[in-house]
Amino acid sequence: MFFSKSFFEILILAALALMSVGAISLIVMLIQDMKTKKLW
């Protein structure tokens, strides 16, 4: 039994997509924290 080609591709693309979302969220959170002066 083998992992299918589409699983292989989706796994990799999903990982890259999730990482991009992560990077964007970090920046958004930074801006929010700076606005509310709750950085530290």
Partner 1 sequence: MLILLGIIWVLLGIYWGRKAKSMDGFMLAGRNVGLAFGTATAMATWVTSNTTMLAPQFALQLGIWGMVAYSTAAFGLFLFAPLARRIKDLMPKGYTSGDFIRLRYGKAAWLVFLGISIFYGFTWLISMGMAGGILMNALAGIPYEIGMTAILLVCVLYTLFGGLYAVIGTDFIQSLIIMIGIVVVGVAVIWSIDLEQVYTNLRTEKPMLLNVLLPASIMAIFNNLLFGIGEVFHSNVWWSRAFAMRKGIGQRAYTLAGFFWLPVPIAAGFIALTSGSLGINITSPDMVGPLMAGNILGKAGAVIVFIVFFCSLASSIDSLLAATSDLIVEDILKKMIKPGASEKWMRRASAFVIVGLGILTWVVCLPRIGTLATVLFFAGPMVASTIYPIATGLFWKSASAKGALWAMVSGTLIGLIAYFQMGWYTASLIGATVSIIVTVTFAKLAPDNFDWKKMDESVAQT
Torsion of CA 22, 27, 24, 16, to 10 degrees: -40
**At closest approach, how far in Å is the CB of 34 from partner 1?**
8
CA–CA separation, 4 vs 19, rounded Å? 23
15 binds partner 1 (CB under 8 A): yes
**In the complex, what is the shortest distance from the CB of residue 29 to partner 1, in angstroms, rounded to a whole number?**
4
Q: Which residues bind partner 1 (CB under 8 A)?
A: 1-3, 5, 7-9, 11-16, 18-20, 22-23, 25-27, 29-30, 32-33, 38-40
